[in-house]
């Protein structure tokens, strides 16, 4: 059964404690959404298509369905990162159907892997957004800048991104990992790429079933 499918057996009524669908106010969706009163799955009938590439991932996170564009330079709860209407509607939604407590993020735009582990509760969309933001707020290590020094063109892009961030986001003069992605500071969702993951994580000791590739794009 597709748990996102509101036409499936047992999903025909309004979930207990939920209100009738209400218009999204100013968010990316501009479509009716369920008003969710507590933590848990975000029940929706907006994404019932059988052609979804990643049905096990919440639609707000999946690269093939999300309309959200998250500026990872800002805290997710900030309007500058993602419209508040979207953030507060989906922040407590479980990120995956499996309700896993461990999600691993990798990307073709940065060389770090990000492991999100909770104390037994399911990883939420907010956990995903916050973990990505926090990981990219880390200072760029000297060894990482040293690697960039062998690619002058890329190094200039990183320095340009740092100046833009210092002007638009914060006054931190040091280089941050978010500067590594240069102009690709917009999260456009998560996707699966098993071949890339196998190469990227070839020397990682532990496996993570819910490994997703972060897709970054320009503004």
102-107 and 186-191 beta bridge pairing: unpaired
109/78 Cα distance (integer angstroms)? 23
Q: Which helix (H) or strand (E) holds 189?
A: strand 186-191
pTM of this structure: 0.79
Closest CA to 184 of 63, 72, 66, 64: 72
pLDDT in single tens digits along all 219 residues of the chain: 334 433 333 322 333 333 333 333 333 333 333 334 344 444 444 444 456 899 999 999 999 999 999 999 999 999 999 999 999 999 999 999 999 999 999 999 999 999 999 999 999 999 999 999 999 999 999 999 999 989 999 999 999 999 999 999 999 999 999 999 999 999 999 999 999 999 999 999 999 999 999 999 998
Q: Measured between alpha carbons, how far apart are the two ends of the chain, in Å?
A: 37
pLDDT at 41: 41
pLDDT at 91: 96
* Cβ atoms of residues 182 and 161 within 8 Å: yes
SS3 34: coil
Helix H or strand E encompassing 114:
strand 114-117
Q: Give the pLDDT of residue 50.
A: 56
The pLDDT value recorded for residue 115 is: 98
Chain segment 11-70, per-residue pLDDT in tens: 223 333 333 333 333 333 333 333 343 444 444 444 444 568 999 999 999 999 999 999
**pLDDT at 219 (0 to 100):** 87
User: Dihedral, CA atoms, 140, 142, 206, 118, nearest 10 degrees?
Assistant: -30
């Amino acid at each position: 059964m597709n748990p996102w499918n509101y036409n499936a057996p047992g999903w025909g009524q309004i979930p207990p404690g939920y209100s009738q669908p209400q218009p999204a106010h100013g968010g990316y969706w501009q479509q009716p959404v369920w008003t969710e009163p507590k933590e848990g799955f975000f029940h929706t009938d907006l994404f019932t298509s059988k052609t979804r590439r990643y049905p096990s991932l919440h639609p707000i996170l999946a690269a093939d369905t999300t309309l959200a564009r998250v500026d990872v330079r800002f805290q997710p709860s900030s309007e500058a990162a993602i419209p508040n209407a979207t953030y507060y509607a989906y922040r407590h939604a479980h990120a995956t159907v499996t309700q896993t407590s461990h999600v691993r993020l990798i990307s073709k735009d940065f060389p770090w892997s990000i492991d999100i582990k909770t104390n037994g509760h399911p990883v939420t969309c907010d956990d995903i957004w916050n973990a990505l933001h926090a990981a990219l707020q880390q200072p760029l290590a000297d060894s990482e800048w040293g690697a960039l020094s062998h690619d002058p063109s890329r190094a200039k892009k990183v320095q340009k991104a740092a100046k833009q961030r210092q002007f638009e986001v914060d006054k931190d003069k040091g280089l941050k990992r978010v500067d590594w992605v240069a102009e690709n500071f917009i999260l456009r969702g998560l996707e699966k790429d098993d071949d890339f993951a196998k190469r990227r994580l070839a020397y990682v000791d532990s496996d993570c079933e819910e490994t997703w590739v972060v897709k970054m794009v320009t503004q």
